[in-house]
Amino acid sequence: MVSNLNNMLSSFHPSTGVDEVVWVPSATGIFSVPEAMRILVIADNSNLLDWKKKIVWNNRVPSKISIFHWLACNRCFPVKETLIRRQILRDHFSSLCIWCNLIPESVELLLLHRTWSFSIWSALFNWWNVRWVIPKTILEFSSDWFHVMGIGDKKFWSLIGPATLWSIWLARNDFVFNDNYTCWKSIVRQIKLKVFPWATFHKLCCSHQFYVWEFNPALLCFSA
């Protein structure tokens, strides 16, 4: 048995080639960021996030807001829950939501589900005359306003949604760092004012139609 093994080993000639790093998913063996992103999206069951159709990377809103939207979908910006995980905050009480002081501040809680934030979304839904149940995550919500809403509605909600996320974040920071509390009704008004110039610039509505935009924006869908 030993001799058989020796015979097998003596006939074996290992390769003397040079080792190299190969990116297996690529046919060329060369790493690419788009391919890596595609794999991450699939691995995370995040096929809701259709990068090609610009659910997040929306050229109709300022790039800083698109970046924040992307961070929110990936739960990557520094809410208190994240700061606790990174051991930047160590006191449990300092991690509590600024609006209720009951449970830790998470991305979804802050931007979607806390009473203060939910009031903003509810007011915007009523303003647009739509009935919507806010999903669990921002990624799912973003997919909703891109895929599920009507063609006219989604043209505007692709602006309203990111603007709302950004406005809530700014209001939260103003409260945390400057002790300046802003009523949610004022945030709703700011969002309407913020989005209207974007809509007019991209010819979704006329610049003299703000009175329509403020009180019945759905009427603009038919002319957009």
Retrieve residue 205's tokens: 């509505």
pLDDT at res. 129: 86
Q: Which of 65-79, 125-139, 158-172 has the highest mean pLDDT?
A: 158-172
Contacts for 111 with CB less than 8 Å, ≥ 6 apart: 72, 117, 138, 165, 168, 169
Ranges of each domain in the chain: 19-48, 49-222
Using CA of residue 143, residue 57, residue 75, residue 193, what is the dihedral sign?
A: negative
pLDDT at res. 44: 53
Q: Region 2-28: what's the mean pLDDT?
A: 65
Confidence of residue 182 (pLDDT cuts 50, 70, 90): very high
Amino acid at 134: I
Q: How far apart are CA 209 and CA 177, in angstroms?
A: 37
**Which of 65, 67, 63, 47 shows the shortest CA–CA distance to 139?**
47
Q: Region 89-95: what's the mean pLDDT?
A: 72
Q: How far apart are CA 169 and CA 79, in angstroms?
A: 10
Retrieve residue 123's tokens: 């007011």
Q: What are the start-end ranges of the H helices in the chain? A: 2-10, 33-43, 63-73, 80-85, 107-108, 115-128, 138-143, 151-178, 184-201, 210-215
Q: How many CB atoms neighbour CB 61 within 10 A? A: 22
Instruction: State the pTM of this model.
Output: 0.74
Q: How many CB atoms neighbour CB 209 within 10 A? A: 16
